[in-house]
Structure 1
Amino acid sequence: MLPPTQRLPQARVLIDMDRYFVLHAPRQTGKTTTLRTLASELTAEGDTAALLFSCERAKTAGDDYPAAESLLLDALREAAERTGWPKKLLPPDPWPQVTPGSRFGSALSEWCRRSPRRVVLFLDEIDALQGNSLISILSQLRDGHNARHERHPFPASVVLCGLRDLRDYKIASGGDPGRSNPASPFNIVAKSLRLGDFTADQIGELYDQHTQATGQEFTKDAIDRVFELTQGQPWLVNALAHEITFEMGVAGAITAGQVDAAKERLIRQRATHLDALVARLHEPQVQRVIEPIVAGTWPGTDTSFDDDVSYVHDLGLIRGTRDMVIANPIYREVLLRVLGDRTERFVKADPHSFVLPDGRFDLARLLEEFVVFWREHGEVLIQQEGYHEAACQIILMAFLHRLVNGGGHLDREYAAGTKRLDVLVRWPHTTPDGERRTQREAMELKVWRAGENDPKPEGLAQLDRYLDRLTLTTGVLVIFDRRPEAPPWNERGNFEEATTPSGCHITVLRA
């Protein structure tokens, strides 16, 4: 484990300044671990009683704010008793008996009045609070903050920890997200911190702890591959290492190839963290953001879309609120596999039949088989696909995955506004003379939509740049025709040959 407080140095500064602030980050990034360690360090210094407790159990209260208060105070007391603190630092027992709606604030005030130390509180899983319960708790924190002085003690610093950014708490509590509004029950917060992902150096530092403990090394290529696949997402970084060292039982130095194998295993298993993310895909807020990314189209421009983007970013699904790209290659692959599950069930071809006698993959035959599949099932699958604008891309990706992933790999690149989806097929094989090689085939997917010009010229230029980056001289351009005047389904699937501006040979499939 990396030293947690080093990942969030600003938190200590704000706590020393007696500030109230928000710490937010996607799930499984180390928020709770960081705050637990910070609470222990603060308490050990001798002048602070710092306590982390979870609001999770109050989720069942909904709008019932008296019930939420009781559940939170129970959780706070239990967390304090588990610390092993001396009795003089523990909260009062019983809590003050006051009117519901002010019990939480009064309890904190009474605790601070009795405590010989300044009190710092970390409210973990604050997202669990809903509706009136959230408004009530935030209002009581604001009132206590604004009234705190020697005769009315209150926690010196309070940290709200969860998925949401500051503006979401202001919106949830009825305030203006854009400024400090006295009408907002949580206008007292002026700072929101986001716990970031690991850097490549931090991944190396983390894995070096394993080397120091066991003697087993991660090669530099392996560490670079982990960073490339995860972009430093902490759960993924740890999960890949655990999969390699424990589940796969790899002995000796760990290589980039073993990282790839671990990645495939994680995705097939759909571990809890990945399942929790994909479960969100059909939420309307998430679909409005993810669909144009997969389709390569421009997203909406209305103000509500900004809220959708912030929500999806806080979930950790996209890299930033400006760059409309999926957060990392593993998420990118998981999303398309999940969205293509229905299509894969329709693919009956035997993947082994596409392996040529010399060990290479028969991409030409795969494209011919896809034409047959598209004519038979395409219309129905498009109508059934919830991500309607990205249906063509999802269907072809599912077909490729079903037939390639048994012995090869698919690398996918897509982002909003690009008008394309790029695919690289990597097929490791052994030649008849025993030499190990990797066959690489590049494809680009484009959609011809109503009112647009034929995307073939643009597609050839874009594919040209993709091939240049891959140092390949041949490729495939697939153009899906979604216009009302498109040919009948039984006439789709024509092949033609073309050349890119730099002279690369291209097979064009019009589907």
Structure 2
Amino acid sequence: MSKVFNVTAACMPEQNYMVDIAGRLQEIKALVDTGSYFTINKARQYGKTTTLLALEQYLKADYDVVFLDFQMLGAGEFENENIFALSFGRFFLRVFRRNNASLSDGVKTLYDEMYRIVNEEPTNFRLQRLFEYLSDICGASPRPIVLMIDEVDSVSNNQIFLDFLAQLRAYYIRRASQPAFWSVILAGVYDVKNLKQKFRREDEHKMNSPWNIAADFDIDMSLSKKGIQGMLREYEADHQTGMNEEEMAGLIYDYTSGYPYLVSRLCKLIDENVSKIPQFDSKKAAWTRDGFHQAVRMILAEKNTLFESLNRKLADYPELDEMLQDLLFTGKSIAYDPDNPAMDAAFMFGFICCRNGNAVLSNRIFETRLYNRYLSTAEIQGQKLYKASLKDRNQFLVGGRLNMRRILEKFVEHFDDLYHDRDEAFLEDVGRKYFLLYLRPIINGTGNYYIESQTRSMGRTDLIVDYRGEQFVIEMKVWHGNEYNLRGERQLAGYLDDYHIDQGYMVSFNFNKKKKTGVFEVVVGDKILIEAVV
């Protein structure tokens, strides 16, 4: 059976193309070796279950591992303490025996006794008795037992779960004087310390000691460029497409920042979808820069569980929605504040990250998806500028190439006609948004665009447009005087060197009443800058 790229469940090395995570497993095992109790909390579809399955096998040489998934317990299993204790006990015993075909005499006796009780005395079994048996089994086992629970937060707004977690914590803390699990690993989107966010305000009395035990887990779960390249090398050995593995890995990483689902989804789209489009019509043609950008357009246009989760969180946190629009359209730097509930939630769910003390979108895919979201509302598309772009767009293609200078000229013309009397605050707040609003229908369906977030500072925003293999770098900024403008021109000229491009573009929103609007050509060293002033 040939391998495939997988985005629907945990990846298996014998069936799926995967990034090698041996280094990650070594780091996690170091925590287990010290007997740590910790949580692996990452966003949805971030490779948690894949990592735990691999970790289960990795630890077996030194530990007895019991790996449980709370999604396999129905909501009815948490109806009361008795039902949960019985369900957990049966679940534990089944997995423990499956992973340990031959039990020592002492463990076998305890196993048989516990098995009989959870099946024959259902009304007299509570959490205390459950943990007494678990402790006895841990004490009788010739090897340390590691407990791993996946999707631990799926039922965390339940008092029974809190009581279970409190018992687990109590036994773990006292493991020096009474037997207990050697190491405990809880996995889910929510950190144990953040599970309290799932409670209603009237349940705040539940937020007590179970939250303060977990050790810090700072192991990077994202996929590296080197790791992605290794995965593509394995794929190339099977399919001989002739791809430039280093270039493709770099493109994938640049757009995803190593977010596992997005990496796998882009690869799957190139392999299974792009390769069947008439303009590509083969895997060899698909695994190219053009094929990659086609896959980016596909993923940005599709519905998937990751984007649906993003939309739900924006609906749940209106202040987060407003903050992201400020971040995307005004060029403002927003300090990361973990005490801000909306920002903390966005960080926990993987939508933003902290870079140099500021909150930024986690990757280009999320960022462009959000731009598309905000530029696609009925209110926005009802703007006269958007309608003008739809009317103008056919004149911007010459021989299949995008005429960016002509786009700037028409944008200046329409913007001046529609908004020439607006004040400084208007330009600060929506100037960049309106340029993107004008640009998007021109390149939509054929080109891609993203904001280079690392240059979003001091009001500077660099827009990168990819259109049929050609890149355009456009700096968007608000005018703050001639010296500031000259410095911006020098910065853009230097930035063009990074892209090996000789010509760049600038859009300056100038609130000086004596300004001269239009499109001008500026030479800076060996670079030509086309500057639009509105």
TM over 0.5: yes
Question: 2:234 is matched with which residue?
Answer: 209
More helix by share: 2
**Which of residues 475, 481, 498 is equivalent to 1:444?**
475
Instruction: Tell me by how many angstroms 1:56 deviates.
Output: 8.4
Q: How far apart in 2 are the matches of 1:8 and 1:38?
A: 6
Structure 1 residues 310 and 5: CA distance shift in structure 2, 3 A: farther
Asked if 1:18 corresponds to 2:38, the answer is: no
Letter in 2 for 1:54: F
Q: How far apart in 2 are the matches of 1:68 and 1:365?
A: 70
Question: 1:189 is matched with which residue?
Answer: 214
Q: How far apart in 2 are the matches of 1:351 and 1:244?
A: 32
Does the 8 A contact of 2:428 with 2:478 survive in 1? no
Structure 1 residues 76 and 377: CA distance shift in structure 2, 3 A: farther
Question: 2:518 is matched with which residue?
Answer: 495
Letter in 2 for 1:353: N
Structure 1 residues 470 and 35: CA distance shift in structure 2, 3 A: closer
Q: Identity of aligned pairs, percent?
A: 21
Does the 8 A contact of 2:409 with 2:532 survive in 1? no
Within-5 A mapping of 1:100-249: 103-104=126-127, 106-114=129-137, 117=141, 118-130=144-156, 133=159, 135-148=162-175, 152-165=178-191, 168=194, 184-216=209-241, 218-220=243-245, 221-249=247-275
Asked if 1:315 corresponds to 2:349, the answer is: yes
* Partner SS state of residue 159, structure 1: strand
Structure 1 residues 290 and 77: CA distance shift in structure 2, 3 A: farther
Q: How far apart in 1 are the matches of 2:82 and 2:442?
A: 55
Q: How far apart in 2 are the matches of 1:54 and 1:393?
A: 46
Does the 8 A contact of 1:278 with 1:338 survive in 2? no
Q: How far apart in 1 are the matches of 2:490 and 2:85?
A: 59
Structure 2 unaligned runs (5+)?
1-17, 200-207, 276-281
Question: 1:338 is matched with which residue?
Answer: 373
Question: 2:462 is matched with which residue?
Answer: 422
Number of residue pairs matched by the alignment: 470
Q: Deviations over 1:355-397 (max 9, x none)?
A: 4454332334433543566578879xx9xx9xx9864433422
Asked if 1:409 corresponds to 2:448, the answer is: yes
Q: Deviations over 1:35-81 (max 9, x none)?
A: 12322454x548614223225868x79xx986599568647745764
Structure 1 residues 98 and 22: CA distance shift in structure 2, 3 A: farther
Question: 2:505 is matched with which residue?
Answer: 476
Instruction: Tell me by how many angstroms 1:276 deviates.
Output: 2.5
Q: Greater shift after overlay, 18-27 or 347-356?
A: 347-356
Instruction: Tell me by how many angstroms 1:403 deviates.
Output: 0.7
Letter in 2 for 1:186: W
Q: How far apart in 1 are the matches of 2:72 and 2:405?
A: 54
Letter in 2 for 1:146: I
Structure 1 residues 148 and 378: CA distance shift in structure 2, 3 A: farther
Q: How far apart in 2 are the matches of 1:302 and 1:352?
A: 42
Q: How far apart in 1 are the matches of 2:35 and 2:465?
A: 55
Structure 1 residues 418 and 125: CA distance shift in structure 2, 3 A: farther
Instruction: Tell me by how many angstroms 1:124 deviates.
Output: 1.8
Asked if 1:27 corresponds to 2:44, the answer is: yes
Asked if 1:53 corresponds to 2:79, the answer is: no
Question: 2:15 is matched with which residue?
Answer: none
Instruction: Tell me by how many angstroms 1:353 deviates.
Output: 1.0
Q: How far apart in 2 are the matches of 1:109 and 1:216?
A: 59
Does the 8 A contact of 1:20 with 1:189 survive in 2? yes
Does the 8 A contact of 1:2 with 1:205 survive in 2? yes
Structure 1 residues 31 and 218: CA distance shift in structure 2, 3 A: farther
- What is the root-mean-square deviation in Å for CA atoms of aligned residues? 4.4
Letter in 1 for 2:403: D
Structure 1 unaligned runs (5+)?
174-182, 429-437
Does the 8 A contact of 1:29 with 1:197 survive in 2? yes
* Partner SS state of residue 194, structure 2: helix
Letter in 1 for 2:172: H
Q: Deviations over 1:423-472 (max 9, x none)?
A: 233433xxxxxxxxx55443221246xxx768645543443333444454
Q: How far apart in 2 are the matches of 1:447 and 1:215?
A: 49
